[in-house]
Structure 1
Amino acid sequence: MMPLRSKATTIQDVATLAGVSPATVSKVLNHAPHVRGSTRERVLEAVQKLNFRPNRIARSLKAKRTLTIGVVSDDPEGLFTIPMLRGVEDAVSPHGFSVFMSTSHGDMARERALLEVFLDKQVDGLILMSGYRVRARGAPALPLNDVPVVYLYQYTSDVAVPCVIPDDKGGAQLGVRHLIEAGRRRIGMISGTRDYEATIQRLDGYREALHAAGIAFNPLLVCEGDWHEASAYALAHELMAMPEPPDALFCGTDSMAVGALDALHERKLRVPEDVAVLGFDNRIFAPYQRPPLTTVALPFYEMGQRAGQLLLAAIRGDAPTPAIHREPCYLVERQSSRVSA
């Protein structure tokens, strides 16, 4: 004979153990405000002791929501996809929402097919995310009707939706100001390719930081690389061979900063005593360079959080203003720019 299944734990069981009403248990499980902290703790402890699993379908029907969010990324292997997705999840999961992601590989026909699937599943909201670069793009590949959408790490002027991107210009200003405050006056820049919007924004920030400090912009100190170590290695050699070489190098990515460091070591120049080096991105390898690399961090996790918060507000009917939200970058200071007193 098949063993009889034990009776499922109910919300009444949780209420009895916690010494509260079923309505209070429901409020706690639905993250409602105005529940005393001690009461909330008792309810959650009872939920854990009884291994209570709320009926998600029933909750969804009552709320007239599926408590799900769909994310369509154009590049799931991008370096920045995971921290952005983690930020989204941390913003929405405390409110009972689950996040499901798929990838279009940058193919609009595939994006359309994925959006059809998500709409068939009746997701409560959508995030369209670029996984590797800030870029302008058009409207979603499929009309979304009343389903709210947020753009993440990309933006559009074709539809009125919130868009979340990093403040690359502000990040460059922050980094160059740091070098100037460290006493550097002849700051070279090894940028990425000009077809990337981030390159233009960072170059603008570099120029504005110099101008604010009363330092004249010198185009001879700016070189265009291709985002990779080898190009920055060669360009750093060129810059340091100038009659008046730079006393600092601002590199458009941490990868390029690694190439610049190799060139400086090869020329027997001390970092940071002779030349300070600054990267951009805060990649995982930055702390392990010789010396550890100072860098401007892109706020991917915070961008994901902001996108999740904006989408939650839209789902609840408090539609955020359609605009480009620029999340500030922050400086991670390490030894490559720091000279001991």
Structure 2
Amino acid sequence: MSSRKTSRRVTMMDVAKAAGCSQATVSVVLNGVSDIKISADLKARVIEAARQLGYGVGSVVRHSALEELRGACIGFIVDQLASTPEAVNAIEGARHESWENDITILVAQSQGRAEHEERAIERMLRAGAEGIVYMSIFTRRVSLSPVFDTLPVPLVLLNCYTNENRYPSVIPDEINGGRAATNLLVKAGHRRIATITGETFMEATQDRLTGYRKALTEAGIAYDDTIVAEGSWTPTSGYEATRKLMALADPPTAIFCQNDKMAMGCFTALAEAGLKVPGDISVVGYDDDELARHLRPQLTTLELPHRPMGAWAMRQLAKQSRAPSHPVTKITCALVERASCAPLHAPARD
């Protein structure tokens, strides 16, 4: 069975396994929860496991980069908090990066409204915020309210950027993500590789499709728009797109779904057609959503790196950079190989 590459991020579950305790215990120890009693021995095991694995406290770079912010307060403004896990993952990444330095993160949801952003900034500065992270749920170019131009503290953009690149900003490397997903299928011998995209106006869709086309070109495979189906990021759209693809006279032998929810719908449509994944057809998703581990077979996918992006934002704030222009930083969407891909014509798995 395939597993993550050794370069994957270390999770609380990894620390829990190494320390011989539950993930909940790890969370209590690493978050400094004082009203829950943990034995000194167990606490020491958790902290040592975290150090050994490089989680939160294990990096010398992390210590030195954030030392200037020790005991500080950081503001985190996001346009939408509740509807998707991306904001929570980014905030978790920021928190994991900074917990040892006793940095407090204040979070506000703006719903993309300038008046909400201005009110949040005013209150965060009043609370002593020494830096602001501004996040968009969807990767995009943003036009910031003028209030951001007069901030007395550093500003970092997460999952978005401006035309002028005036502020440090970080986004996922979606082009190489789409390329990696497609390359995996090419290397498995597939030539008839379909893709189900998200909504075409979104940058993530455009970039993942660009990566898909790059991989095909590099492999000498002609781009065929008849096996490019538009979805809307939902399981239903993945289901309907898969039915159309498999009804073609020359159906694909592999499908790259541009998010895991569409892959879930894809799985259902393939099962209804009597096809087995990956024996009859291989499927790759994107995002590394929690559901990817609960599909059967488990879904090979690309990790959307919001946790690393949150950690990057904290380190960038600590640098206090005031340069007039900043290149947009792109963070790799790591390939997470599981069981939904196989070489072309490989026998079905149980």
Fold similarity call, TM over 0.5: yes
The 1-side partners of 2:318 and 2:70 are apart by 12
The 5 Å alignment of 1:268-307 reads 268-307=274-313
Tell me by how many angstroms 1:155 deviates: 1.2
Tell me by how many angstroms 1:318 deviates: 7.7
The question of 1:69 aligning with 2:74 is answered yes
The 2-side partners of 1:290 and 1:159 are apart by 43
| CA distance 1:320–1:301, shift in 2 (3 Å) | farther
Deviations 1:70-123 (A, max 9, x none): 111111113211111111122233334221111112211111111111222331
Query: What SS does the corresponding residue of 1:255 show, helix, strand or coil?
Result: helix
Asked if the contact 2:304/2:333 (under 8 Å) is kept, the reply is: yes
The 1-side partners of 2:237 and 2:74 are apart by 41
The 5 Å alignment of 1:144-159 reads 144-158=150-164
| CA distance 1:194–1:202, shift in 2 (3 Å) | same
Instruction: Specify the code of the residue in structure 2 equivalent to 1:79.
Output: P
Cα RMSD over matched residues? 2.2
Identity of aligned residues (%): 35
| CA distance 1:324–1:185, shift in 2 (3 Å) | same
TM-score, normalization: structure 1? 0.77
| CA distance 1:109–1:149, shift in 2 (3 Å) | same
Which residue does the alignment assign to 1:330? Answer: 334
Deviations 1:264-306 (A, max 9, x none): 1111112111110011111001111121111111111111111
**What runs of 5+ residues in structure 1 fail to find an aligned partner?**
1-40, 42-62
Asked if the contact 2:69/2:318 (under 8 Å) is kept, the reply is: no
Instruction: Specify the code of the residue in structure 1 equivalent to 2:182.
Output: V
**What runs of 5+ residues in structure 2 fail to find an aligned partner?**
1-43, 45-67
Which residue does the alignment assign to 1:212? Answer: 218
Tell me by how many angstroms 1:64 deviates: 11
Query: What SS does the corresponding residue of 1:250 show, helix, strand or coil?
Result: strand
Query: What SS does the corresponding residue of 1:249 show, helix, strand or coil?
Result: strand
Which residue does the alignment assign to 2:40? Answer: none
The 2-side partners of 1:303 and 1:64 are apart by 18
Q: How many residues align?
A: 278
Which residue does the alignment assign to 2:24? Answer: none
The structure 2 residue matched to 1:164, chosen from 158, 170, 185, is 170
TM-score, normalization: structure 2? 0.75
The 1-side partners of 2:338 and 2:77 are apart by 36
The 1-side partners of 2:170 and 2:134 are apart by 10
The structure 1 residue matched to 2:111, chosen from 105, 129, 148, is 105
| CA distance 1:141–1:110, shift in 2 (3 Å) | farther
Q: Which protein shows a greater Rg?
A: 1
| CA distance 1:320–1:180, shift in 2 (3 Å) | farther
Deviations 1:119-154 (A, max 9, x none): 223311100012x31111112451434311000111
The structure 2 residue matched to 1:134, chosen from 110, 134, 139, is 139
Which residue does the alignment assign to 2:86? Answer: 80
Deviations 1:4-43 (A, max 9, x none): xxxxxxxxxxxxxxxxxxxxxxxxxxxxxxxxxxxxx9xx
The 1-side partners of 2:115 and 2:106 are apart by 19
